[in-house]
Amino acid sequence: MARGCISQDFAPLLLFLAVIFPHLDASQAVDQGLSDILNELWKLDKNRLKPGTDYTISLQGRAGYVRVGNNEARDHASAPLFSYVNEAKLKNIKTFSYLMNLLDNYEPSTGVAEKVTAEEIAENNLFLNAVLETDVMKRTHKYLVSKGHSQSDLNQFRQQLYNIWFHLYHRDRRGSEDSCGFEHVFVGETKSGTEVMGLHNWVQFYLLEKQRLVDYKGYKARDRDMPNKDDHILNIQFSWNGLVKPVGSAFIGVSPEFEVAAFTILFLASNEKATRAVVNMDKYQVELVVTRHGRYIGTAYPHLLSTRRP
């Protein structure tokens, strides 16, 4: 069948999908297998923080349209996104504590070579070791072995994770090794001083807000799918050091191990340049996106499609 042509035999099915999943492009069906394992991991994520108890967010106004590369954005949020975070609890959970130790190890500008010290390598390994001790990552390892994506040997799995997330590569071809998956997703980068790239981790966002380096501009949503303060996935607009990200998205409150697990599973599921999967997870329908930079993660983020309110 020629591209762009739809057989009449498929028309009723596409109409059915459009009715059941109004936020979803009919070409993307829900990945039930991925939904199942992610819901397992969601239930195992005992380190996930509780909204309204461990942290509080203030959504405020809905952000407007901003073209990529345009760093002028009307501010629809006079206050920060995070009005409270229990930092003592973060520091008492090993995976969060070790994550925070890594956030100042990178040069955010692409094209500038990263200089990785022995101390920073040790910090990377402390973080991964803590992640591997969690029930979330133990289940992830078992799942990946069952799919033939990982070896059962724990040391080999640890090295696989290290390569996927921390191996340095050239993001800006004009420079030296200036990036890695962890930096892009968890820390954030800037491209030639003109735009924000990555920065999909809520802890980093909160810490940058605290330093007044990030300015939350408002949430991004459609009229039929407005977020609330208890949601664990948000689409937002913000500026970082004066550079605007028109639409960014992140899990909120979830543990580092959950993020590493979810994105690693999707990364290893395909060799495509970009892998997208729609999943029903907890009360959310979300599109997970992972792109690869050779054998390593280029970017990874969740994009909230809809929320099923109780």
* Prediction pTM value: 0.88
Q: What is the pLDDT of residues 14-25, one digit of tens each?
A: 333 333 344 444
Report how far residue 97's alpha carbon sits from residue 161's, in angstroms, rounded to the nearest whole number.
Answer: 19
> 3-class SS at 49?
coil
Q: Which residue has the higher pLDDT, 245 or 308?
A: 245
State the chain's mean pLDDT as an integer.
Answer: 88
Helix axes 135-146, 256-268, angle to 10 degrees: 10
Structure tokens at 283: 């009360």
For residues 186 and 200, the answer to whether their CB atoms sit within 8 Å is yes
Cβ–Cβ under 8 Å, residues 249 and 5? no
Helix, strand, or coil here: 75? Answer: coil
Encode burial over 97-108: b for 16+ CB neighbours within 10 A, e otherwise.
ebbbebbebbbb
Task: Give the max Cα distance, the chain.
Answer: 62
pLDDT tens-digit series, residues 203-222: 999 999 999 999 999 999 98
Work out the angle at residue 135's Cα, subtended by the Cα atoms of residues 130 and 138, and round it to the nearest 5 degrees: 80
Asked if 38 contacts 283 with a C-beta cutoff of 8 angstroms, the reply is no
As a whole number of angstroms, the distance between CA 129 and CA 158 comes to 8
How far apart are alpha carbons 254 and 131 in whole angstroms? 13
pLDDT tens digits, 273-292 = 999 999 999 999 999 999 99
Is the pLDDT higher at 242 or at 237? Answer: 237
Measured CA to CA, the distance from residue 84 to residue 9 in angstroms comes to 54
Residues involved in catalysis: 184, 200, 245
Segment 91-98 mean pLDDT: 98
What percentage of the chain carries pLDDT values higher than 90? 75
Looking at the chain, the whole-number percentage of residues with pLDDT higher than 70 is 88
Q: Give the residue-averaged pLDDT of 72-100.
A: 96
Annotated domain spans of the chain: 32-47+61-307
pLDDT of residue 309: 64
Predicted local distance difference test score (pLDDT) of residue 174: 67
> Which residues, including other chains, have CB under 8 Å from residue 256's CB and lie 6 or more apart?
95, 96, 99, 127, 131, 186, 201, 203
Which is more confidently placed, 97 or 114?
Answer: 97
Say which DSSP state 134 is in: S
Task: Answer with the residue of higher pLDDT: 49 or 108.
Answer: 49
Count other C-beta atoms under 10 Å from residue 113's C-beta: 13
pLDDT category of residue 241 using cuts at 50, 70 and 90? confident
- Position 310 scores a pLDDT of 62
User: How confident is the model over 103-128, as a mean pLDDT?
Assistant: 87
